[in-house]
């Protein structure tokens, strides 16, 4: 196991109906929140009204900023930060899925500085990059089980001018409190629930595949999350109102990126890196982009670390691999993942997304520039240089 620091200063208030505590929890953070959310869902479902009313009840002066698009953009964050400053907001609440939560985090930083948020996001060598020195206190209210933004110190922001999607990351971005109320996720459609499930799986499977140090506990915790996500998603697809299954998905989401599962094993997040290049160019959901890249990267990599793919086959898919050569077990693991994606209608290609003539070279270059660091490749058991990424993307044509 590698050395590491584990820090998770977020208080998580978890459970059905806990959204009713939002006022009481919020008043511990300040008096005038900027309430950051998307343009339609929270309004349509009445969740925005409910949250606003609970906040008002405690005497808080809510400033609404409901302009967050999927894959939130630099310009939207900058505008939100200026609004928070002009209205003298003293904390920020992110309500919705990963987009409004990540936007809220970035706005909490932007509200404390005068230059664009893009300067605080690493997006390649030689580009402007400043450390985050402070942020307004952050609260998140997730309404989808997916990104884990409710319990991590990062956020993903897109520069639509340059088609770069990159990560803002700082201990200041841990929410002070997150209210994870699985009941809020009940209205999420099957498609978006499935997108989220794939995102959660990828949050733990990336380290599982790419770890540079053996970590059997972390592996088992990852397998536990993956199996629970798969079981729970299947249940939600047949019974969308199952609070039990929704709760399991939500707790998986919160733990996946909390540091508990991935600490100490090293490795990288090549799928996330490549996906960010995809959804930096095409306005698709993050989970759908991950579903697109997952089978190709498994195909492309499994011969370079077959024992891990065979372990997935045995421990997650419960395939009897006894007596098989490891490479055969590995191939069964790759096949099982592809089959599972098909079974939940998440098997994805560029053509199934309606994207013709994908910009393979451009996406590969963006990936390496933004996520290749000074290495010039993505960390993976089979190193991923520009040409490898083009190959991978073409496998998903």
Count residues near a copy of itself (CB under 8 A). Answer: 39
Question: What is the rounded CA–CA span in Å between residue 141 and residue 143?
Answer: 6
Applying CB under 8 A, which part among 63-71, 112-120, 257-265, 367-375 lies near a copy of itself? Answer: 257-265
Question: What is the rounded CA–CA span in Å between residue 375 and residue 129?
Answer: 18
Q: How far is the CB of 245 from a copy of itself (least distance, A)?
A: 9
Q: How far is the CB of 231 from a copy of itself (least distance, A)?
A: 7
List, in sequence order, the alpha helices (H) in 239-269: 243-256
Q: Does 5 sit near a copy of itself (CB under 8 A)?
A: yes
Question: What is the rounded CA–CA span in Å between residue 303 and residue 297?
Answer: 11
In the bound state with a copy of itself, the residue whose beta carbon lies nearer, of 311 and 367, is 311
- Nearest Cα neighbor of 397 from 342, 353, 340 is 353
The correct pick among 48, 204, 255, 293 for binding a copy of itself (CB under 8 A) is 255
In the bound state with a copy of itself, the residue whose beta carbon lies nearer, of 186 and 395, is 186
Say if residues 237 and 194 touch (Cβ distance below 8 Å): yes
- Partners of 166 in the β-ladder: 157
Q: Does 2 sit near a copy of itself (CB under 8 A)?
A: yes
Q: Does 395 sit near a copy of itself (CB under 8 A)?
A: no
The correct pick among 32, 50, 85, 227 for binding a copy of itself (CB under 8 A) is 227
Tell which positions 176-215 bind a copy of itself, by CB under 8 A.
214-215
Q: How far is the CB of 220 from a copy of itself (least distance, A)?
A: 3
Q: Does 248 sit near a copy of itself (CB under 8 A)?
A: yes
Q: Does 307 sit near a copy of itself (CB under 8 A)?
A: no
Query: Could you give the dihedral angle defined by the CA atoms of residues 315, 321, 326 and 331, in that order, rounded to the nearest 10 degrees?
Result: -80
Q: Does 247 sit near a copy of itself (CB under 8 A)?
A: yes
Length of the chain equals 397
Residue 15, classified by CB atoms within 10 Å of its CB into exposed (0-12), middle (13-18) or buried (19+), is: middle
Question: What is the rounded CA–CA span in Å between residue 323 and residue 212?
Answer: 27
Applying CB under 8 A, which part among 126-134, 244-252, 273-281, 364-372 lies near a copy of itself? Answer: 244-252
The correct pick among 116, 162, 170, 228 for binding a copy of itself (CB under 8 A) is 228
Applying CB under 8 A, which part among 5-13, 52-60, 75-83, 98-106 lies near a copy of itself? Answer: 5-13
Question: What is the rounded CA–CA span in Å between residue 395 and residue 349?
Answer: 9
Q: Does 162 sit near a copy of itself (CB under 8 A)?
A: no
In the bound state with a copy of itself, the residue whose beta carbon lies nearer, of 4 and 303, is 4
The correct pick among 152, 195, 223, 275 for binding a copy of itself (CB under 8 A) is 223
Contact string 262-291 vs a copy of itself (x = CB under 8 A)? -xx---------------------------
Question: What is the rounded CA–CA span in Å between residue 199 and residue 145?
Answer: 9
Q: Would you give the DSSP letter of residue 40?
A: S
In the bound state with a copy of itself, the residue whose beta carbon lies nearer, of 264 and 381, is 264
Q: Does 8 sit near a copy of itself (CB under 8 A)?
A: yes
Question: What is the rounded CA–CA span in Å between residue 359 and residue 305?
Answer: 29
Report the chain's C-alpha Rg in angstroms: 20
In the bound state with a copy of itself, the residue whose beta carbon lies nearer, of 164 and 181, is 181
Residue 101, token pair as written in the block: 């939560």
- Nearest Cα neighbor of 135 from 169, 97, 87, 86 is 169
Question: What is the rounded CA–CA span in Å between residue 163 and residue 139?
Answer: 28
In the bound state with a copy of itself, the residue whose beta carbon lies nearer, of 104 and 179, is 179
Contact string 9-38 vs a copy of itself (x = CB under 8 A)? x-xxxxxxxx--------------------
Instruction: Look at phi and psi of residue 21 and say left if phi exceeds 0, alpha if psi is from -120 to 50, else beta.
Output: alpha
Q: Does 241 sit near a copy of itself (CB under 8 A)?
A: no
| CB proximity list for 175: less than 8 A, separation 6 or greater | 10, 94, 105, 138, 139, 140, 150, 151
Name the residues that contact a copy of itself, by CB under 8 A.
1-9, 11-18, 214-217, 220-221, 223-225, 227-228, 231-232, 244, 247-248, 251-252, 255, 260, 263-264
């Amino acid at each position: 196991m590698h050395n590491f620091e584990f820090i998770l200063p977020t208080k998580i208030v978890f459970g059905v109906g806990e959204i009713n505590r939002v006022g009481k929890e919020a008043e511990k953070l300040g008096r005038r929140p900027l309430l950051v959310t998307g343009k339609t869902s929270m309004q349509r479902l009445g969740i925005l009204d409910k949250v606003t009313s609970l906040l008002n009840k405690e005497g808080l002066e809510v400033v609404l900023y409901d302009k967050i698009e999927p894959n939130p953009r630099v310009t939207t964050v900058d505008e939100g930060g200026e609004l928070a400053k002009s209205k003298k907001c003293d904390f920020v609440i992110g309500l919705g899925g990963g987009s409004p939560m990540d936007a809220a985090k970035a706005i909490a930083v932007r509200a404390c500085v005068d230059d664009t948020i893009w300067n605080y996001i690493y997006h390649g060598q030689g580009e402007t990059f400043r450390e985050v020195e402070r942020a307004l206190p952050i609260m998140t209210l997730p309404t989808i089980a997916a990104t884990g933004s409710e319990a991590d110190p990062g956020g993903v922001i897109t520069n639509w001018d340059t088609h770069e999607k990159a990560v803002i990351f700082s201990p200041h971005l841990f929410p002070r409190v997150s209210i994870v109320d699985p009941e809020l996720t009940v209205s999420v459609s099957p498609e978006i629930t499935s997108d989220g499930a794939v995102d959660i799986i990828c949050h733990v499977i990336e380290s599982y595949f790419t770890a540079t140090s053996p970590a059997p506990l972390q592996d088992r915790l990852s397998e536990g999350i993956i199996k629970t996500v798969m079981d729970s998603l299947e249940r939600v697809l047949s019974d969308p109102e199952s609070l039990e299954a929704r709760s399991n998905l939500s707790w998986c989401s919160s733990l996946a990126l909390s540091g508990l599962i991935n600490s100490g094993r090293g490795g990288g997040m090549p799928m996330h890196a490549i996906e960010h290049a995809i959804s930096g160019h095409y306005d698709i959901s993050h989970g759908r982009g991950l579903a697109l890249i997952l089978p190709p990267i498994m195909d492309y990599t499994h011969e370079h670390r077959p024992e891990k793919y065979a372990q997935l086959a045995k421990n997650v898919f419960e395939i009897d691999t006894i007596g098989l050569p490891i490479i055969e077990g590995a191939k069964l693991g790759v096949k099982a993942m592809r089959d599972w994606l098909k079974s939940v209608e998440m098997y994805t290609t560029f053509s199934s997304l309606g994207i013709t003539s994908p910009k393979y070279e451009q996406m590969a270059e963006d990936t390496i520039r933004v996520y290749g660091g000074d290495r010039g490749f993505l960390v993976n058991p089979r190193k991923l240089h520009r040409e490898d990424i083009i190959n991978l993307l073409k496998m998903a044509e």
